[in-house]
Amino acid sequence: MLLSIVSGLEESKSSPNDVNKKFTYLCRYLKSLSYDGIELSLLEPEKIDVKGIIELQNSYDMRISALGTGSTFIRFGYSLGDHREPIRKKAIERVEKYIEFARETQSKVIIGLIRGRYKHESNPQKERLNIISSLKECCSIAENSDVQLLFEPINRFEIDSYHTISESLKLIKEIGSSNLKLLIDSYHTHLEEDPVYIWEYLKEVVHYVGHIHLADTTRRAPGSGHFDFKTFLNILKTHGYSEFVSIETIMKPSFELVAKNSSEYLRQIL
């Protein structure tokens, strides 16, 4: 398995040169800790000097594992499930920008918080249908660009739809796109899945998985809580998963310390 960690680049309020400087720092520091890549949480990927980023990642032999899109909903309020068609269209347009960046950097695009939260003016059934319709459009764009989308089950406290792996897998099968895979997050798994059956179920769904997020039960670095990472990762590895596992946690006390502690802990397992 390959190891990465989530970081932003502040591309919306920084010059392309400053973005490249930050990316250079990330590559240099993470490479020293034996990371294989970086997962980028972006707001406006079109503002990034993509050629410069590619040159930098190649020079450090690092990869961009995936692109986080959640800030599109958090900052702009655009979502794939919104009851207003213009808002859904804006969300799809934003996803297309991520896909364009992912095509150039050979990375993947995450569909998580961007599916939105239910509005009082709408209803859960209608918004689920909107998510499905919007996601089909996004998949069509991804297919034309040969980019993989990653659908993430998220716990019920943060979002109103598709909390479990089984719900999300049912949706993926309904969409029927070879460019749509499952993203499994250990933190959401801990909150939403049945602890008695989850290990056996994981064995059945590994071949649908395209990306992994890692955070402990504390939502901090792996090893800070009581999630069974050894069993979790061994199941994935034994059943054929060999792609990225990515640290997505609260970055306290600092990004650098989380990156260091996570790498030291996980390299004993990976």
Q: Which of 11, 127, 152, 192 is catalytic?
A: 152
Q: What is the pLDDT of residue 269?
A: 87
Q: Please report where in the chains the tokens 């990004």 appear, as a residue.
A: 255
Q: What is the pLDDT along the chain (270 residues), one digit of tens a residue?
A: 999 999 999 999 999 999 999 999 999 999 999 999 999 999 999 999 999 999 999 999 999 999 999 999 999 999 999 999 999 999 999 999 999 999 999 999 999 999 999 887 778 888 999 999 999 999 999 999 999 999 999 999 999 999 999 999 999 999 999 999 999 999 999 999 999 999 999 999 999 999 999 999 999 999 999 999 999 999 999 999 999 999 999 999 999 999 999 999 999 988
Task: State the pLDDT at residue 148.
Answer: 98
Tokens 């909390």 -> residue: 163
CB contact at 8 A, 129 and 80? no
Is 121 assigned a catalytic role? no
Structural domain span for residue 201:
2-266
Number of domains the chain is built from: 1
Question: How many Cβ atoms are within 10 Å of 48's Cβ, its own excluded?
Answer: 22
Cis peptide upstream of residue 16 (ω within 30 degrees of 0): no
The tokens describing 249, both together, are 């946690």
Residue 123 near residue 164 (C-beta atoms within 8 A):
no
Copy the structure tokens of residue 96.
């297309």
**204 part of the active site:** no
CATH number at residue 153: 3.20.20.150
CB-based burial of residue 90 (10 Å sphere; 0-12 exposed, 13-18 middle, 19+ buried)? middle
